Structure 1
C-alpha cells in the first residue's frame, strides 16, 4: 500500500519551538509520540523524519491493513519547506495527493480547524514553497486556526512570538485534536474527515 507523507510546517530550532507558526511541528510531534517513533535526520533529506504505520487502532499499529505514514519536520526555514518535502516524497515514492501539510492559519480562530485539498497559499510561505517545489498545489492541507493578532500587532510578530503560558494547555488539547483529524484523513479520506472536523 502506498505511503503517506505528513508534513508539519514550522521553523527549526529552539527559538521557534513554542510559537504559533510551529503548530505544524507540534502536531507531527504528537503523532510521532503516539507511534513511539523516533526522529532521525537522513542524509540529504533536509528534515527530521519519523516513520510509522497507522491502523484503526491508531499510530504505531501493525497488521496487513496498516498504512505507512512518514512524518516530516523540515530543517529548512519555513520559506524553503518545499525542498525537504520534495526530497522525502521522492525517496518514499509519495505522490502529491498523499501529502498532508499541517500549518497555522490566521484566518481561522483558535479552536477552528479546516481540511481541504488543493488551493492557493494564502500568503503562507511554507505552502508557497511546497507549491513551487512540487510544481502543484494539489496536496492536502490541515489548517490549524490560530486567530488574528489583537489590536494592531504585526501578524509576523504574532506568529513568531512564544505562545503565552496561560494558553499552552489549550494548545496541547487542540494539537491532539488536529492529530486525530490527520489520522482520520489518512484512514477514511477527506470528505468524512471534513464532515467531522471542519468548523
Structure 2
C-alpha cells in the first residue's frame, strides 16, 4: 500500500511526502517507508529535487538521502534517482548507496509497458580466499511491468522481476547463485494526475 501528496509553492517549487507499507512472509512486521522531498518543477510534467527516506522493518532502520528527477506525460513517464545510505539491516555490512531508473511507455488502448531497475551496493562484503582482496556486493532488482489504465486515474498493473547479486573486487565481477523471482499485481488511483515521484524504499521487491 502506498500514498503520497505534493504541495506547490509558487509556480516552480514543490514539497512532497509519501508512505509505503509492504508485507513479507520473512519478517514479523511490515516494511514501512516514509519519504520527504523538495522539488524544482520547471514544468508541470517534470521535476528535479532532493529526498530523504526512512525505511523500518522489525527493529532495523535504513535512511537514504539523495537526488531524483522525473518526467511524466500522457504517453509515459520516467524516474531516476541516487542516494547515499545509512542502514543496520545487514548488521556489520555497510550499505553504501542505492540508485535506480523506472519508465513506462503507453502502447495504446490504455496499456503501458515498462521496466523498473534498482541496485544497492554493500561495501567490504567479503574477502577473496587466496588473494585477500576485499569485495563489494551489488544487489539488483529488475522487473518488467505492464499497466492497464481506466478513466479518472485508476489503473491495474502487474510486475515480474528478479532479485540477484554480483560481487566485485574492482577488477572482475561474479554473479551470485541465489537469485529469486517474484510476481506482483496491484491497483492504483492517481488523484488529479497523481504525484510526480514514487516512494523510495531500499528494496521494493515488486511493490
TM-score normalised by length of structure 2: 0.30
Structure with more contact order per residue of length (Cα contacts < 8 Å, sep ≥ 6): 1
**Bigger helix fraction:** 1
TM-score normalised by length of structure 1: 0.30
**Bigger strand fraction:** 2
